[in-house]
Amino acid sequence: MAKRPILTVPDPRLREVSKDVDEVNDETRALMDDMLETMYDAPGIGLAAIQVGVPQRIIVMDLAGKDEEPQPRYFVNPKILNPADEMAPYEEGCLSVPDAFEELDRPATCTVEYLDYDGQPQTLEAEGLLATCIQHEMDHLEGVLFIDHLSRLKRDRILKKLKREAKAREAEAADAPGVA
Whole-number Å distance between alpha carbons of 123 and 116: 10
Do the Cβ atoms of 132 and 88 come closer than 8 Å? yes
Do the Cβ atoms of 56 and 49 come closer than 8 Å? yes
Question: Going residue by residue from 88 to 117, which x/- string records binding to ligand GNR, judged by CB under 6 A?
Answer: --x-xxxxx---------------------
Among 88, 125, 126, 136, residue whose Cα is nearest residue 108:
88
Burial label, 93 (beta-carbon count in 10 A; 0-12, 13-18, 19+): middle
DSSP bridge pairs for 92: 102
Do the Cβ atoms of 129 and 65 come closer than 8 Å? no
- Cα dihedral sign, 65-70-73-74: positive
Identified binder of ligand GNR from the candidate list 14, 46, 49, 100, rule CB under 6 A:
46
> What does 90 bind: Ni ion, ligand GNR, none (CB cut-off 5 to 8 Å by kind)?
ligand GNR
Please say which residue, 75 or 90, places its beta carbon nearer to ligand GNR: 90
Identified binder of Ni ion from the candidate list 50, 52, 58, 94, rule CB under 5 A:
94
Which residue's CB atom is positioned nearest to ligand GNR? Answer: 44
Q: Is the peptide bond before 107 cis (omega within 30 degrees of 0)?
A: no
Do the Cβ atoms of 70 and 64 come closer than 8 Å? yes
> What does 34 bind: ligand GNR, Ni ion, none (CB cut-off 5 to 8 Å by kind)?
none
Is residue 131 within the footprint of Ni ion (CB under 5 A)? Answer: no
The minimum distance between CB 175 and Ni ion, in angstroms, equals 31
User: Which one of the listed residues 137, 142, 170, 172 is annotated catalytic?
Assistant: 137
- Is 137 a known active-site residue? yes
Is residue 36 within the footprint of ligand GNR (CB under 6 A)? Answer: no
Identified binder of ligand GNR from the candidate list 28, 38, 77, 132, rule CB under 6 A:
132
Query: Using CB under 6 A as the criterion, which residues of the chain lie in contact with ligand GNR when the complex forms?
Result: 44-48, 51, 90, 92-96, 132-133, 136-137, 140
